[in-house]
Amino acid sequence: MKKIIYILLGVSLTTAVSCSDDFLEKDPSEFMSDEEIAEISPDYPELSEAILRGNYENMYVTGSGGTDLDHDDFGQKSYDIYGDMLSGDMVLGGLNYGWYSGISEMQSTIDFTDTDNYKPWRYYYRIVNGANSVIDGYGGNDAELEAGTDAIYSFAQARAMRAYAYFYLANLFSTSYDATAEILPIYTSLSQDNQPLSTTADVYALIIEDLTYAVEGLDGFSRDSKSYINQTVAQGLLAYAYAAMGENALAKQASSDAILSSGASIVSETEAVGGFNDVTTSAWIWGTDITIASDLDLVSWWGQVDLFTYSYAWAGDPKIINDELYAAIPDNDVRKGQFVNAYGDGQLYPINKFYAPDRVVGGQRNIETDYLYMRIDEMYLLNAETAAKSGDEATAISALKALLDERLDDTSYVDQLSGDALLDEIILQTRIEFWGEGKSYLLMKRNNSDITLGSNHLTYPSQTISSDDDRLTLDIPQLEIQNNPFIN
């Protein structure tokens, strides 16, 4: 009976994190020890499934970054906004309420005492901890599980989730891919005590190992919800990881594999201005179906970005596009219509890209519009980018045109591009296509790209900032330094 009760507690287990005695709690809950999880999980697969489900829920619940009151603490989409602002493509159009102002002004990123550093650190290590709970439950990293079983599907998802968390940690908390730089502590089991910083090479070695396993282990897995990682998502994450390492030929292959396995269609011309709000959209390969039961309101991604939600965007702190990036969108490009000068003040709101379907200004109080984490279009442009970098310009042009054929009436100009001009066009199109989706920061990091802030930036209009500027990378937070004796 005691074991059955533990299963019912499983969903709550991911509320702890594994890094230190105080800041990042070691034990998964006050009810169960690490040893008890390892003992009962093989006999009660429902427990591992509950922990895994709780880990996915952490991607959108409020407070998963360790705060109770912060209105920018709501899982993955919180940090997508970090990335979009630090890349310069998203502009904070007002400073009335203060949320994201430290990121916009690039001040919190150089202050390790600021909670803007704490929240993503805590969030992603919480994901690591939840993943390790599942992995330990099946016998640890070297567990041998039968292909095509529920056990290996859960185990492989957990390893993919761990890799996802370390990938974002590596991007947010390190300047670039420097193999010898010491960047993050690695935890692969709940039983580990505090760990020292590992090198970038070691962090990415774990990411690649986990995702390679996940791609193979998830072969044949049919998920009930797009919230769950399947083989296509694992391939997409693997492509991103290889691209960040500069392993462009491998990234090209992984992104191609994701396209082939997905069965998904590129966002169509109509869908491009049809509201990025529905997880059933074919192009969406990873996302969450947000319902009333999800219990989201103002404290959400929609509560920060959408004019048609009761939101900060509506109340005076809009999230708008960099004016120069907008100017770079051709007039005959359907994506030009995603942005509208809604109030005649020159600020371009994304009201035809992201919107609550009722389109009542300030109207959506209880969030029912969905969260997007990855769409297949990303794999086309990542395939184009890594193909161009690896010398396969024919593939790069083909992948780029596959997307642009849904955005422009005439894409013949792409056939004339080569070398740096081709790569520059792919990078520009990536910034335009995925505005507001958290991808521009990853693009900036893997290309070591300097950024030029928009002329409409409130603090540093039109300034160019070097890719290695410390302001573009987060600091290991104060509480981790205080509680982990191996970090100073």
What is the DSSP annotation of 69-114? Answer: S-TT-SSHHHHHHHHHHHTTSEEE---SS-TTHHHHTT-GGG-TTS
Kindly tell me the number of DSSP H helices and DSSP E strands found in the chain: 18, 10
> Which residues have CB under 8 Å from 260's CB, separation 6+?
none
User: Please, which residues bridge with residue 92 across strands?
Assistant: 319
Closest CA to 437 of 486, 368, 381, 371: 371
Spatial distance between the Cα atoms of 155 and 131, rounded to a whole number of angstroms: 9
345 within 8 A of 320, measured Cβ to Cβ: no
User: Please, which residues bridge with residue 286 across strands?
Assistant: 374
Looking only at the bridges linking them, the beta strands covering 451-452 and 90-92 are unpaired
Angle of CA points 3, 6, 11, to nearest 5°: 150
Sign of the dihedral through C-alpha 341, 347, 350, 351? negative
440 within 8 A of 83, measured Cβ to Cβ: yes
DSSP 8-state symbol, 364: B
**What pLDDT is recorded for position 208?**
98
The residue with tokens 């899982």 is: 75
Spatial distance between the Cα atoms of 373 and 80, rounded to a whole number of angstroms: 9
**What pLDDT is recorded for position 376?**
98
User: Quick one: which H or E segment has residue 320?
Assistant: strand 319-321
**What pLDDT is recorded for position 22?**
38
Tens digit of each residue's pLDDT, the chain (488 residues): 333 333 334 444 444 333 433 334 333 333 445 555 555 555 566 788 899 999 999 999 999 999 989 999 999 999 999 999 999 999 999 999 999 999 999 999 999 999 999 999 999 999 999 999 999 999 999 999 999 999 999 999 999 999 999 999 999 999 999 999 999 999 999 999 999 999 999 999 999 999 999 999 999 999 999 999 999 999 999 999 999 999 999 999 999 999 999 999 999 999 999 999 999 999 999 999 999 999 999 999 999 999 999 999 999 999 999 999 999 999 999 999 999 999 999 999 999 999 999 999 999 999 999 999 999 999 999 999 999 999 999 999 999 999 999 999 999 999 999 999 999 999 999 999 999 999 999 999 999 999 999 999 999 999 999 999 999 999 999 999 999 999 98
Helix boundaries (H) for 138-247: 150-172, 200-217, 231-245
Spatial distance between the Cα atoms of 141 and 136, rounded to a whole number of angstroms: 7
Spatial distance between the Cα atoms of 284 and 276, rounded to a whole number of angstroms: 9
- Cα atoms found within 13 Å of the Cα of residue 64, Cβ hemisphere only: 29
Spatial distance between the Cα atoms of 384 and 389, rounded to a whole number of angstroms: 9
Query: Quick one: tokens of 66?
Result: 């360790």
Spatial distance between the Cα atoms of 336 and 322, rounded to a whole number of angstroms: 13
Looking only at the bridges linking them, the beta strands covering 284-288 and 319-321 are unpaired
> Which residues have CB under 8 Å from 24's CB, separation 6+?
17, 18, 122, 125, 129, 480, 483
User: pTM for the complete prediction?
Assistant: 0.93
Spatial distance between the Cα atoms of 416 and 28, rounded to a whole number of angstroms: 56
348 within 8 A of 320, measured Cβ to Cβ: yes
Spatial distance between the Cα atoms of 446 and 428, rounded to a whole number of angstroms: 14
Residue 452: strand, helix, or coil? strand
